[in-house]
Amino acid sequence: MPTLIKLADGRYSAAEDVFTIVADEDAIPEGPVILSLTRFQAEGDALISAGRPVGVRILPDEAVEDLAYDLPRLAVVALVFPKYADGRAYSSAALLRQRFAYAGEVRAIGDVLREQAAFMVRCGMDAFVPADGSTAEDWAAAAGRYRHVYQRAVDARAPVFEERG
Amino acid sequence: MKALTANRLIDGEVVFWQGGQWVERFADAQRFADDDAAGPAAVDAALAQSTVVVEPYLIDITEAPGGWAPVSYRERLRALGPTNEPSHGKQAEGGAGIAALLAATGAARSTGRVDLIRRK
Amino acid sequence: MYRYDAIDKEFLADRAAEFRGQVARRLSGEITEDQFKPLRLMNGLYLQLHAYMLRIAIPYGSLDSRQLRRMAHIARVYDKGYGHFTTRQNLQLHWIKLGQAPDILDLLAEVDLHAIQTSGNCIRNVTADPYAGATAEEIDDPRVWSEVIRQWSTLHPEFSYLPRKFKFAVTAAAKDRTAARVHDIGLVLRRARDGSLGFEVIVGGGQGRTPYVGPTIREHLPVGSLLSYLQAILRVYNRHGRRDNKYKARIKVLVASLGAAEFARQVEEEWSRIDSPQADLPDTELARIRAAFTPLAFEVLPPHSETFEAAKLASPALARFARNNVKPHKKPGYAIVEISLKAHGATPGDASADQMDLVADLAERYGLDDIRVTHEQNLVLPHVKLDDLPAVHAALAEAGLATPNIGLISDIIACPGLDYCALANARAIPIAQAIARRFEDADRSELIGELKIKISGCINACGHHHVGNIGILGVDKKGEEFYQLSLGGSGQEDASLAQILGPGMSAERVPDAIETLVDTYLSVRQGEERFLDTVRRVGMAPFKEAVYADAH
């Protein structure tokens, strides 16, 4: 099982992943599931009504706006990085947090590498499934490489101009 | 005929395959017949040396009066150095191998260059 | 000048340390070349034909003597004793070793220099008017806003993996010395009718495969709203720019396909939803940055310098230098001095380490320690007393830095081309040298007047050939280097794209063709018309006919 790393209260830890990512062509298993956007739009309501934790995975060219009304009921939004260089998930995460005040888990999946950890965290992602074997310690180190940041982002880090007082 | 070239990872130096080693002089490069499977085999071996070299590829070479030279102008530049500064790059060494490269003329697209473009 | 404080310095140290770690992980094989490449590009390191090339950032083209001396030192110790100033006001070193790059970044960080985001699919060096703070004609100091954007865009977490590179230019004077209209975003400072300061926001200009003069998507953006508005633009681009085809991934393609009006509408809509008080820079921080650029300690001098006038009378060389390379300063008794890196037969834009040291010395002694790089690959000492011009000129002349050709035919922009660049199809440097040698005669050059020749070795247009009065594009025609000429481009406030003159020609024919174009111009020019003006007035036909007269 690939490691799931969660960020909570500023700390990174390996976590058990209770969610199953369900491919569109597969039957939906028991327990918490993460569905594609289209499948969620078709079958999501029923699962949520049945009391199951449900998540949606968003591809880079899918709009988080399409989830706007469902977000309060979603346990997880998983943002897919088909290739690490596809930076659309950063905007998706920022919108989820800032535009829609989404309070659930925003998870990075796909080509997720520690070299981009800091950007993911600053954009509001709080769960990560690394593709490069990174441990929680690796992730924390990567996310903490910079003592200062120049701009405000989704996270609570004070930009340099606030540090200067 | 063909030769195998790449850039060395640590310093970017243009290098050529010679029997499993990497040499800096084109004149010392191993030459493969166009249909020799040893050429592609060397490429595979080079690709596996990803902490030694970057982007290995085969280039077309031709025998000119002075000696062997890459067919393509771009590859001759890689084997020589920049034309605006003769004291920079491999050409500064002088000698017969360099003279052969300098004397080579004409150009067609090198196989290696074409391959690189297709791969992108 | 913006001075780095302890926080800025810690940032550079962290950046250098991060890259050292990344290089180590690449060398050990922990990360692949494919994973490493954007990381090294975002630290300005390209793998070129002969070696790695390091592109050092010179933020908005501004540096001091300490920094220039450090670049000279690095060029000596880690390169071959020279560097190349670029069309984006940066410095390139062409013979760098990856293994030494972390040490180089450490050395740069010591003097507040870096190579952050000088390559990669991220926001690049913000370029600005090289005469900022010295010219009388600026509405505001564009360096203030360039520094604001530089900081905001540095490791911006949402915008570090864009579809493609992103380039800003900021200008505040009527005369545009930045080519703002062919940038991804060009910002032109203006005062509204009520006197308030704002930006004309131009988006989607660019060169390369598909050149565009960018449309204005907003006539007046109040300066206080700059960052929130830029966030809206970048977010629309990050989400909707094409990622399927590298050659269609710039914002200019998105703007062109949506149309300027629709693109502007999407930006305005996104902007309306952004929490602007959160996104915009607090006034206190803006004031702090602005304070870094407050006017220097200029002396109160008479506008007329007897020393300088007498020296000009005595020295025709100085007089010629003054005519072409010395520009008016906003303060009486001062001047802006352009240093040409286009000595005839030399490589355009190159300076030796010794020359860099000399310019540093002159800046420190005579120039209020202020040096600029122009996007035409020259240097500027923006604050020199007229009284000191004879001494400055003499020192420059001794170092081969006093070629009196700024803006003239031999002040050619040329990219490094196939001599250095892995992307090139043809060489650019020898073409520039051949043309410059053909037009060595200084009297003739002045007679011809302003004529901007720009040469690119491939369609990526780093030589800005699309906005050359004469643009030259090197192409590979069946393995031979061929050159396509175009006419009528301008990167200034009257921006226009050059039109192709006719079929490409071999390298040997190019100087003759330029000569023919010049002769044609001189034969039909009216009054004080520049070459560009004549081309615009009479059209391409006379020029095409003259150049291809013997074509069959």
Q: What is the pLDDT of residues A96-152, one digit of tens each?
A: 999 999 999 999 999 999 999 999 999 999 999 999 999 999 999 999 999 999 999
- Give the domain CATH number at C244: 3.30.413.10
Q: Dump pLDDT digits (tens) for C217-269.
A: 999 999 999 999 999 999 999 999 999 999 999 999 999 999 999 999 999 99
Q: Could you tell me if C190 and C249 lie in one domain?
A: yes
Yes or no, beta carbons of C151 and A152 under 8 Å apart: no
Does residue C258 sit in the same domain as residue C361?
no
- How far apart, in whole angstroms, are the C-alpha atoms of residue A10 and residue A144? 10
Question: Is pLDDT at B107 greater than 70 in this prediction?
Answer: no
The residue range of the domain holding B77 is: 2-119
pLDDT at residue C552, as a whole number: 44
Residue stretches of chain C with pLDDT short of 50: 552
Count of the separate structural domains present in chain B: 1
Cα–Cα distances in angstroms (integers) from residue B84 to residues A105, C350, C418, C441, in the given order: 58, 11, 11, 22
The per-residue pLDDT for A96 is 98
Residue of C nearest to B74 (CA): C418
Domain CATH code at residue C360: 3.90.480.20
**Does residue C381 lie in a domain region?**
yes
Which of C337, C325, C351 has its CA nearest to residue C442?
A: C325
Domain check: are C342 and C431 in the same one?
no
Residue A91 and residue C155: Cβ atoms within 8 Å?
no
User: How many angstroms separate the CA atoms of C90 and B66, rounded?
Assistant: 41
Mutate which: C27, C32, C49, vs B, most B CBs within 10 A: C49
Quote the pLDDT of residue C294: 86
The predicted pLDDT at position B120 comes to 42
Whether residue C129 lies inside any domain: the answer is no
- Give contacts of A160 with chain C, Cβ < 8 Å: 7-8, 11, 151
Which residues in chain A have Cβ-Cβ distances shorter than 8 Å to C237?
A: none
Confidence class for position B116, pLDDT limits 50, 70, 90: low
H or E segment at C361?
A: helix C353-366
H-state helical runs in chain A:
37-49, 88-94, 117-122, 136-143, 160-163
ipTM: 0.98
Name the residue range of residue A49's domain: 4-163
Out of C329, C363, C398, pick the residue that ends a domain: C398
Residue B111 has pLDDT above 60, yes or no: no
- The verdict on C140 and C287 lying in the same domain is yes
Domain range for C436: 413-547
Q: Say which residue, C271 or B102, is predicted with more confidence.
A: C271
Please tell me whether residues C310 and C286 are part of one structural domain.
no
Average pLDDT for chain C:
96
Domain tally for chain A?
1
* pLDDT at residue number C296: 81
Q: Choose among A53, B29, B93, B50: nearest CA to C29.
A: B50
C-beta of residue B104 within 8 angstroms of C-beta of residue B69: yes
CATH number of the domain within which A43 lies: 3.20.20.70
Using a CB–CB cut-off of 8 Å, the residues of C that contact A are: 5, 7-8, 10-11, 14-15, 17-18, 22, 31, 35, 38-39, 121, 151-163, 227, 235, 238-239, 243, 273, 275, 278-279, 281-282, 284-285, 288
Statement to judge: residues C419 and C540 lie in one domain: yes
C-beta separation of C358 from C395 below 8 A: yes
Tokens for A96, please give them. 């989820």
Q: Helix C226-240 and helix C251-258: axis angle, to 10°?
A: 80
**Final residue in a domain of this structure, among C398, C428, C457:** C398
Question: Looking at residues B20-42, what average pLDDT do you find?
Answer: 96
Contact A150 C155 (CB under 8 A): yes
Domain limit, last residue, from C291, C326, C355: C291
Indicate the number of domains in chain C: 4
pLDDT above 90: percentage of residues in chain B: 79
Which pLDDT value is given to residue B110?
56
C430 falls within a domain: yes
- CB-CB neighbors (< 8 A) of A94 in chain C: 158, 235
Residues of chain A neighbouring C7 (CB-CB closer than 8 A):
148, 160, 163-164
pTM: 0.96
